[in-house]
Structure 1
Amino acid sequence: MNTPTAPRKPVAPNGTRKSSTKSARSRAREFALQGLYQHFVGGGDVASIDAFTRELQGFNKADAVHYDALLHGCVDLKDDLDALIVPLLDRELGQISPIEHGCMWIGAYEFLRCPDVPWRVVLNECIELAKDFGGTDGHKYVNAVLNGLAPKLRTAEVQADRAAGKPAPAAP
């Protein structure tokens, strides 16, 4: 099966590659996105995708519980997640890249089912996933959609941030 390309390491101002120390949850999101990509492109069943993904190098550094929640939760709630996403799109859902679609699913799922993860963290993590694995400027699209969902799905949290004068996060 095809999988997304390996993430690019960030570049420091001097042009050297920065080493990144990602959290176990960030790694879980990466592996969940790879699994969702396989689901979108290959259409395989989630159990086979899960088994394959768990064998990938570096999976042992991921938060396996969060990975399970994301991969299985997104696939189980796919119709609900798409129903939340579609009204915010400026094109047909079928025209969205599998990477952007997966990032949107992960973000919408975490907004709905992971209240322990602040909405700004969800948004930033999904933007980073889109930057690392997606096409040019795909992260801006993910940002716009998830920024549109956040006030609906995390109303109190977003309102509290606005009342505190925190600006809305934006993709660079």
Structure 2
Amino acid sequence: MTQTTGSRRGEGGTKPSRRRMARLAVVQALYQIDLNGEKPEAVLRQFEQHRLGQTDEGMHLNADPKFFTVLLRGVVERQTEIDALLTEAMAPGHQVPRIEVVLRAILRAAAYELIAMPDVPPRVVLAEYVDITGDFFSEREASLANGILDRVARGARTAEYGGGDRGPSAPEQ
């Protein structure tokens, strides 16, 4: 996988947050599970024992281990539900299994946070995962991820995010 630094939020010498690093580690773990067909619990143990808090390809994964574990297990346990939400949010005729593996991992992790972690504001989820998408892809894919996740957020957090599918969004703060 590509080396990342924490994206736009990490520029200017600021270190990415431990949650940001946990999100990035989850994307890497989901990629490994998806691409290699490894068992999720084995990958979880591998990350806990060898990757979190270690230097990986020049990047220190100083990640929040509890957040990492909750997020990874949640995505794996609710993958069918998450994939259905993502498919519904995508353009007609597009399906989650046909999305590039890294982008699929990013979208799944973000969707899980949107549906299962109400303590994290939806705009934070979108900003974090759009930035992570930008670490791996061009602005085109980051815009695609933003559009899909915006639709998921409007469906999953209607009252908080505002407006449902096409209504006005809540003002920026």
Settle same-fold status: TM greater than 0.5: yes
**Secondary structure of 1:116's partner?**
coil
> Could you tell me the percent identity over the aligned residues?
27
Q: For the structure 1 residues 37 and 134, does the alpha-carbon distance in structure 2 shift closer, same or farther, using more than 3 Å as the test?
A: farther
**Secondary structure of 1:137's partner?**
helix
For residue 47 of structure 1, report the CA deviation from its aligned partner.
1.4
What is residue 124 of structure 2 aligned with on the other side? 121
Query: Which of 126, 148, 152 is 1:149 aligned to?
Result: 152
In structure 2, how many angstroms separate the alpha carbons of the residues matched to 1:66 and 1:39?
A: 18
Could you state the TM-score of these two structures normalised by the residue count of structure 1?
A: 0.82
What is residue 76 of structure 2 aligned with on the other side? 75
What is residue 96 of structure 1 aligned with on the other side? 99
What is residue 110 of structure 2 aligned with on the other side? 107
1:2-151 equivalence runs, <5 A:
4-8=1-5, 18-54=12-48, 55-56=50-51, 57=54, 58-59=60-61, 61-90=62-91, 91-134=94-137, 137-151=140-154
Structure 1, unmatched stretches of 5+, are: 12-16, 168-172
Alpha-carbon contact 1:10-1:18 (below 8 Å) kept: no
For residue 163 of structure 1, report the CA deviation from its aligned partner.
7.0
2:171 aligned with 1:165: yes
Alpha-carbon contact 1:107-1:146 (below 8 Å) kept: yes
Could you state the TM-score of these two structures normalised by the residue count of structure 2?
A: 0.81
Aligned-pair Cα RMSD in Å = 2.2
Cα deviation, 1:75-107, whole Å, max 9, x if unaligned, reads 111101001001222323232111111111111
For residue 48 of structure 1, report the CA deviation from its aligned partner.
1.4
Count of residue correspondences: 157
Structure 2, unmatched stretches of 5+, are: 55-59
Alpha-carbon contact 1:9-1:19 (below 8 Å) kept: no
**Secondary structure of 1:5's partner?**
coil
In structure 2, how many angstroms separate the alpha carbons of the residues matched to 1:163 and 1:46?
A: 36
